């Protein structure tokens, strides 16, 4: 019977062991969109985890390397996401991560506490690379001809089922265009559809091609995006308009094409009542309608196909030098945060105030000593006075009101520009974040948007920055383990797409224009201005939830400031405040956005600017960190 | 409660009382004090950062400049004032006091040093408001400031004891005393920085601040001491050693009295 006691004890001990000890996890990671990467962009990493053991609560991480050895700014970013897997569960997670070179691999790992349960190293040299990726949402592989249609640009075609589409707009960063044919966008989840819309608003291209199933083009989601209203299908002998446009004969064989009517945008080929190729801008992006099925004969063998698709895609062949230079660190010194640090952003006393303090201290001390020499019998009283003077002066010097900024562990600055692409319902948020560690340490920065993209980061200052940090993308976006030595500045450039907190509509009429601004945010939109035809109209502050409508008449407004720098005019008319630091933040943002352009050059179409006097990129930081943030809202409504 | 009995004993020490009276009435200390504060204020004003600018290339200089100058002046004042008699008439030497005073050598030295340290405390205290101001604009946390003030106090205190020891040993030869004071001062403030940096109080002060650590750590069996802590320990040993030498010299002087 006694042998049962150790047996039971062993059983109990095993029962108390952490469940992770039993976890049997397999992990499989895949690179990019069907193995295709685009360097310099954010690419997808899809990770599939299967748990064959006990319940698991761990963290899944993807580590990438950025920066350059020659510049000395190489750093790794670990993107993490909490993972809970019940026994026998299988889960698929996607990460959008920046990949700029194939030199360093991408490490994927799953860990619980300090124990790594599974890991995989992805060699980027084995991946397929492209300068342009076209994503096909089609039932066939009929877009393959596009891979050779652009001889100067290495193009790859990727076909994905709707279920595999990214759920964040950043997942499309490597994609140049999406082609939809014969697939219903209604099959996309809400998050997938939002991601697609947000990507379009930020410069993506969506092409919807005609198909025998024309009803798919009439479905609500696609209808909301298309430049045309699809009415049905019609049969036709040949496409003379196409042949004429590209000066390439096309056989007159019978074809079926979608019959539609232009509702917005512009017809490129055909007429408004019968558009063959039409497009409309959607924010910074475009939505293209092609009435004909490009996969139906005789189009696949037609030699004008390449020219047609160049017209459809209109992908600029020039390099985005601003972005390239920024990522190479060539624009670091002109970064808004660096400009900000050239301004008096701290509030310690001036030389004059200091002189007054020192003079008072010295005068009182001299006075006490003089009295002491005059009345030696009462010298102990005066020595007491000296002690009191020292204590009072020390207490005054210790008081925090003498200097606000440097009493914190770190200073955080968030200067954000929020552009409102017209008629999209989205806002493109470009954040410039600076973390200045006064005393050094490990810091954590919360960001407001979960799908924020970190475009660029660099450090300046007397100290050094840690070579790795963590970007936790689970619940909200947090930058963790930001190690900075004392007196070091770390700068981040971020980008995100959010639902537009301010809605702007403008209508032109013979004598001017009508502007309607609706503030849907929880913060007042202050100092709202409309610049139009070199004139500036002040709309004032718009309270949260308020809808403001005004008639603007440019002929009645003076044009004195039309030749002045746009940023200077806007700065003069900013909301009045006593906070000089805020004025510096605003000045830096306006300079960054408008550059050296004159008011007359920037306001040929209406430009609305306003201020949200709150950070839009950063969330609430830890208590020991002082944060100041301001957001410039810019809208260019269509007339 | 532990420090109360020694404080009470010190208060009842007649030598301390005598020193205290002399210190309160001496006009030279007041003149020194005003000049000392004026010098530190000038340094603070010169090194005060431009209004509100953050210079990313250089660490804040103000705190280290003011702290360094305070250390240099305080060290000289301590060692030189320690080597100057504060008791009695002009023609009555410290050896005479030791021979004539009806107290033991230990009590005499403790009382004399306590009176000396009061003077040291005055100079140290006068610099505190200026150092706090400098620390404020240099982003120094309170911990660094406390460490810096402690270092100033310990180093100046130990130099004071060294000065008193020199006075007891070489009181009769003023020239030799002057040479010893100057040599030791140069050795502690300047020479040690090149030969044995861990003993240099100015480098140790910079080591307590935000600046990159100028002093290497001292590794002892089972313990690693930061550079500035090693400097504090060294100066405490220096002060203790000097006190023992002064005590031995005092006993020798008293023994000659009994022989007489």
* Residue pLDDT, tens place only, A389-418: 999 999 988 886 666 677 788 889 999 999
One DSSP character per residue, B15-38 reads: HHHHHHHHHHH-HHHHHHHHHHHH
How much is the pLDDT for B67? 96
Q: In a mutagenesis test of the B interface, which of A358, A458, A463, A485 is the best target, namely the one with the most B β-carbons within 10 Å?
A: A358
Whether residue B44 and residue A354 make contact (CB cut-off 8 A), yes or no, is: yes
Q: In whole angstroms, give the CA distance from residue A499 to residue A483.
A: 33
User: How far does B49 lie from chain A, in Å, by closest CA?
Assistant: 9
For the cut 60, the answer to whether the pLDDT of residue A11 exceeds it is no
Q: Given pLDDT bands bounded at 50, 70 and 90, which one contains residue B89?
A: low
Q: Note whether B17 contacts A: Cβ–Cβ < 8 A.
A: no
Q: What is the mean pLDDT of residues B46-55?
A: 82
A350 Cα to chain B: minimum distance (Å): 5
- How many Å apart are CA B100 and CA B94, to the nearest integer? 10
Chain B residues within an 8 Å CB radius of A386: 122
Contact state of A372 with B60 under an 8 Å Cβ cutoff: no
Question: What pLDDT, on a 0 to 100 scale, did the predictor assign at position A205?
Answer: 94
B139 and A366 within 8 Å at the Cβ level: the answer is no
- Record: contact B56-A460, CB cut-off 8 A: yes
Q: Which residues of A touch B149 (CB under 8 A)?
A: none
Q: What is the pLDDT of residue A15?
A: 46
CB A638 within 8 A of CB A421: no
User: What pLDDT is recorded for position A513?
Assistant: 87
Q: Which of B10, B2, B155, B191 is nearest to B78 (CA)?
A: B155
> At A609, is the secondary structure helix, strand, or coil?
strand
User: B62: which chain A residues are within 8 Å (Cβ-Cβ)?
Assistant: none
- Tell me which H or E stretch contains B157: helix B142-170
Give the Cβ contact number of residue A263 at 10 Å: 14
Does the beta-carbon distance from B136 to A403 stay under 8 Å? yes
From the CA of B246, how many Å to the nearest CA of chain A?
A: 30
- Smallest Cα distance from A343 to chain B, Å: 6
pLDDT in tens, A548-584: 998 888 776 666 677 888 999 888 888 776 677 888 8
Question: Is residue A7 scored above 70 in pLDDT?
Answer: no
Is residue A309 scored above 70 in pLDDT?
A: yes
Q: Who among A341, A380, A390 is closest to B129 (CB)?
A: A390
Best CA proximity match to A339, nearest among A594, A619, A586, A611: A586
What burial class does residue A129 get, using C-beta atoms within 10 Å of its C-beta: 0-12 exposed, 13-18 middle, 19+ buried? Answer: middle
Read off the pLDDT band of B4 (50, 70, 90).
confident
Please report the DSSP string for A283-302 in residue order: TTEEEEEE-B-TTSTTGGG-
Among B41, B52, B122, the residue with its CB nearest the CB of A362 is B41
- B-chain residues within 8 Å CB-CB of A347? 52
**A window 342-361, beta carbon within 8 A of B:** 342-348, 350-351, 354-355, 357-358, 361
Please enumerate in sequence order all residues whose Cβ is within 8 A of that of B130, keeping only pairs 6 or more positions apart, or say none.
Answer: A358, A397, B37, B40, B41, B44, B66, B70
Say yes or no for a CB contact (<8 Å) between A397 and B129.
yes
The shortest CB-CB distance from A376 to any of B25, B130, B138 is to: B25
**Token pair in block for residue B184:** 């030791």
Say how many CB pairs under 8 Å bridge A and B: 110
Q: How far apart are the C-alpha atoms of B68 and B80, rounded to whole Å?
A: 18
Strand, coil or helix: what is A113? coil
Cα angle: A62, vertex A131, A206; to 5 degrees = 90
The model's pLDDT over B91-104, given as tens digits with 9 standing for 90+, comes to 667 777 777 777 78
pLDDT given at position A18:
46
Q: Are A176 and A281 in contact (CB under 8 A)?
A: no
Question: Would you state the pLDDT for residue B138?
Answer: 86
Dist. CA A175–CA A177, nearest whole Å? 6
What letter would DSSP give residue A571? H
Give the separation between CA A586 and CA A594, rounded to whole angstroms.
12
In this prediction the pTM is: 0.82
> Shortest CA distance to A510 belongs to which of A538, A552, A562, A559?
A552
Residue A17 pLDDT: 44
Which of 443-472 (A) contact B at CB < 8 A?
Answer: 460-463
Burial readout A406-417 (b: 16 or more C-beta within 10 A, e: otherwise): bbbbbbbbbbbb
CB–CB of A439 and B137 under 8 A?
no
Buried b (16+ CB within 10 A) or exposed e, A21-53: eebebebebbbbbbebbbbbbbbbbbbebbbeb
The confidence band for B259, taking pLDDT boundaries of 50, 70 and 90, is low
Distance between A76 CA and the closest CA of chain B, angstroms: 24
Average pLDDT value over all residues in chain A: 87
Q: What percent of chain A has pLDDT over 90?
A: 41
Interface contact B34-A439, CB threshold 8 A: no
Per residue, what are the HEC states of A185-231?
HHHCCHHHHHHHHHHHHCCCEEEEECCCCHHHHHCHHHHHHCCEEEE
pLDDT, tens digit (0-9, with 9 covering 90-100), for A428-439: 999 999 999 988
| pLDDT higher than threshold 80 for residue A5 | no
Distance between A373 CA and the closest CA of chain B, angstroms: 7
Query: Crossing angle for the helix pair B14-25 and A379-398, nearest 10 degrees?
Result: 80
Q: Are strands A41-51 and A90-99 parallel, antiparallel or unpaired?
A: antiparallel
- How buried is B242 (Cβ within 10 angstroms: 0-12 exposed, 13-18 middle, 19+ buried)? buried
The residue segments making up the domain with residue B164 are 4-259
Q: How much is the ipTM here?
A: 0.91
pLDDT in the model for residue A39: 87
Supply the pLDDT for residue A286.
93
pLDDT for res A544: 94
Q: Are residues B54 and A462, on separate chains, in Cβ contact within 8 Å?
A: no
Q: For chain B, say whether A402 makes contact (Cβ under 8 Å).
A: yes
Q: What is the DSSP letter of A603?
A: -
Give B-chain residues touching A461 at CB under 8 angstroms.
56-57
pLDDT, tens only, B178-216: 999 999 999 999 998 898 889 999 999 999 988 777 777
Interface contact A438-B139, CB threshold 8 A = yes
Is there a contact between B79 and B159 (Cβ–Cβ < 8 Å)? yes
Contact B52 A346 (CB under 8 A): yes
Residue A14 has pLDDT above 50, yes or no: no
Q: How many domains does chain B contain in total?
A: 1
Residues A227-239: what's their mean pLDDT? 88
Distance of CA B198 to CAs A446, B183, B214, Å? Answer: 42, 19, 10
Residue B56 with chain A: CB contacts under 8 Å = 341, 460-462, 487, 489
Q: What are the residues whose beta carbons fall under 8 Å from the beta carbon of B27, sequence distance 6 or more?
A: A373
Do the Cβ atoms of A354 and B45 come within 8 Å?
yes
Q: Which residue of A has its CA nearest to B125?
A: A390
| A355 contacts on B by Cβ (under 8 Å) | 45
Q: Is the pLDDT of residue A318 over 70?
A: no
- A7-21, A510-524, B205-219: which is most confident: A510-524
Question: Which pLDDT tens digit goes with each residue over A338-392?
Answer: 988 888 888 778 889 899 999 999 999 999 999 988 888 888 888 899 999 999 9
**420-439 of A, contacting B, C-beta below 8 A:** 436, 438-439
pLDDT above 80: residue A69: no
Q: Which residue has the higher pLDDT, A634 or A250?
A: A634
Residue A488 preceded by cis peptide, ω within 30: no
- Give the whole-number percent of chain A exceeding pLDDT 70: 93
Q: How far apart are CA B167 and CA B246, in angstroms?
A: 9
Cα–Cα separations (whole angstroms), residue A121 to A27, A47, A64, A443: 11, 12, 11, 28
**Whole-number pLDDT of residue B200:** 93
The reply to whether B44 touches chain A by the CB within 8 Å rule is yes
Q: Residue A108: is its pLDDT beyond 80? A: yes
Beta-carbon separation of A351 and B52 below 8 A: no
For A86-165, strand residue ranges (E) read: 90-99, 106-112, 115-122, 128-129, 132-138, 155-159
């Amino acid at each position: 019977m006694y042998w049962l006691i150790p047996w039971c004890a062993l059983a109990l001990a095993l029962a108390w062991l952490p469940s992770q000890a039993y976890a049997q996890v397999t992990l499989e990671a895949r690179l990019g969109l069907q193995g295709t990467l685009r360097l310099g962009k954010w690419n997808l990493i899809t990770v599939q985890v299967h748990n064959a053991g006990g319940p698991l609560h761990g963290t899944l991480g993807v580590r990438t390397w950025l920066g350059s050895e020659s510049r000395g700014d190489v750093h790794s970013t670990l993107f993490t996401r909490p993972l809970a897997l019940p026994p026998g569960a299988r889960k698929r997670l996607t990460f959008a991560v920046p990949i700029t070179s194939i030199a360093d691999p991408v490490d994927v790992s799953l860990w619980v506490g300090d124990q790594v349960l599974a890991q995989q190293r992805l060699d980027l040299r084995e991946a397929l690379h492209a300068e342009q990726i076209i994503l096909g949402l089609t039932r066939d592989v009929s877009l393959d001809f596009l891979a050779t249609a652009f001889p100067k640009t290495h193009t790859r075609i990727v076909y994905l089922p709707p279920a595999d589409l990214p759920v964040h707009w950043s997942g499309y960063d490597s994609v140049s265009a999406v082609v939809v044919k014969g697939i219903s966008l209604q099959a996309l989840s809400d998050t997938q559809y939002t991601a697609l819309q947000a990507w379009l608003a930020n410069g993506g291209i969506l092409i919807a091609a005609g198909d025998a199933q024309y009803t798919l083009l009439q479905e609500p989601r696609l209808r909301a995006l298309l430049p045309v209203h699809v009415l049905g299908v019609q049969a036709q002998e040949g496409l003379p308009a196409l042949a004429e446009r590209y000066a390439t004969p096309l056989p007159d064989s019978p074809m079926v094409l979608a019959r539609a009517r232009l509702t917005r945008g512009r017809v490129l080929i055909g007429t408004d009542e019968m558009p063959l190729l039409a497009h409309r801008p959607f924010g910074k992006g475009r939505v293209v309608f092609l009435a004909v099925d490009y996969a139906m004969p005789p189009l696949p063998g037609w030699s004008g196909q390449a020219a047609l698709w160049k017209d459809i895609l209109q992908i600029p062949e020039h390099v985005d030098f601003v972005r390239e230079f920024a990522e190479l660190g060539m624009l670091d010194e002109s970064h808004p945060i660096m400009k900000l640090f050239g301004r008096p952003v701290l509030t310690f006393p001036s030389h004059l105030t200091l002189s007054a303090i020192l003079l008072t201290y010295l005068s009182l001390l001299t006075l006490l000593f003089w009295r002491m020499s005059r009345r030696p019998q009462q010298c102990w009283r005066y020595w007491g006075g000296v002690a009191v003077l020292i204590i009072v002066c020390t207490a005054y010097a210790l008081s925090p009101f003498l200097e606000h900024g440097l009493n914190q562990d770190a200073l955080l600055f968030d200067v954000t520009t929020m552009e409102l692409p017209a008629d999209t319902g989205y806002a493109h948020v470009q954040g410039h974040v600076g973390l200045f560690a006064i005393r050094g340490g490990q810091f954590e920065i919360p960001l407001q948007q979960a799908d924020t993209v970190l475009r660029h980061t660099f450090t300046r200052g007397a100290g050094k920055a840690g070579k790795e940090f963590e970007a936790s993308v689970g619940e909200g976006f947090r930058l963790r383990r930001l190690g900075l030595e004392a007196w070091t500045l770390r700068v981040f450039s971020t980008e995100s797409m959010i639902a537009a907190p301010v809605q702007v509509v403008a209508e032109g009429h013979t004598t001017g224009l009508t502007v309607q601004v609706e503030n849907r945010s929880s913060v007042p939109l202050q100092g709202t201005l409309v610049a139009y035809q070199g004139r500036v109209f002040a709309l004032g502050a718009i309270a949260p939830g308020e809808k403001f409508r005004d008639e603007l008449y440019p002929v009645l407004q003076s044009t004195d400031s039309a030749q002045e720098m746009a940023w200077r005019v806007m700065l003069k008319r900013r909301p009045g405040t006593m906070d000089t630091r805020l004025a510096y933040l605003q000045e830096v943002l306006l300079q960054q956005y408008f550059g050296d352009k004159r008011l007359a050059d920037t306001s040929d179409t209406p430009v609305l600017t306003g201020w949200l006097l709150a950070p839009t990129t950063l969330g609430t930081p830890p208590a020991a960190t002082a944060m100041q943030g301001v957001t410039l809202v810019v809208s260019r409504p269509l007339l | 409660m532990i420090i109360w009995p020694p404080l009470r004993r010190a208060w009842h020490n007649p030598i301390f009382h005598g020193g205290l009276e002399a210190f309160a009435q001496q006009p030279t200390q007041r003149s020194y004090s005003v000049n000392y504060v004026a010098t530190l204020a000038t340094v603070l004003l010169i090194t005060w950062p431009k209004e509100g600018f953050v210079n990313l290339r250089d660490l804040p200089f103000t705190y280290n400049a003011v702290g360094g100058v305070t250390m240099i002046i305080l060290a000289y004042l301590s060692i030189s004032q320690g080597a100057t008699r504060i008791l009695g008439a002009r023609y009555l030497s410290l050896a005479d006091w030791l021979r004539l005073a009806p107290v033991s050598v230990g009590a005499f030295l403790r009382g004399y040093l306590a009176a000396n340290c009061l003077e040291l405390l005055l100079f140290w205290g006068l610099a505190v408001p200026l150092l706090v101001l400098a620390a404020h604009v240099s982003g120094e946390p309170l911990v660094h400031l406390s460490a810096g003030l402690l270092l100033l106090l310990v180093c100046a205190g130990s130099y004071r004891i060294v000065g008193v020891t020199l006075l007891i040993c070489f009181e009769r030869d003023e020239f030799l005393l002057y040479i010893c004071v100057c040599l030791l001062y140069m050795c502690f403030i300047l020479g040690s920085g090149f030969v044995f940096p861990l003993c240099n109080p100015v480098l140790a002060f910079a080591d307590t601040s935000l600046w990159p650590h100028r002093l290497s750590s001292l590794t002892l069996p089972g313990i690693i001491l930061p550079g500035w802590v090693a400097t504090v320990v060294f100066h405490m040993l220096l002060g203790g050693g000097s006190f023992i030498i002064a005590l031995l010299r005092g006993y020798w002087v008293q023994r000659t009295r009994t022989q007489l």
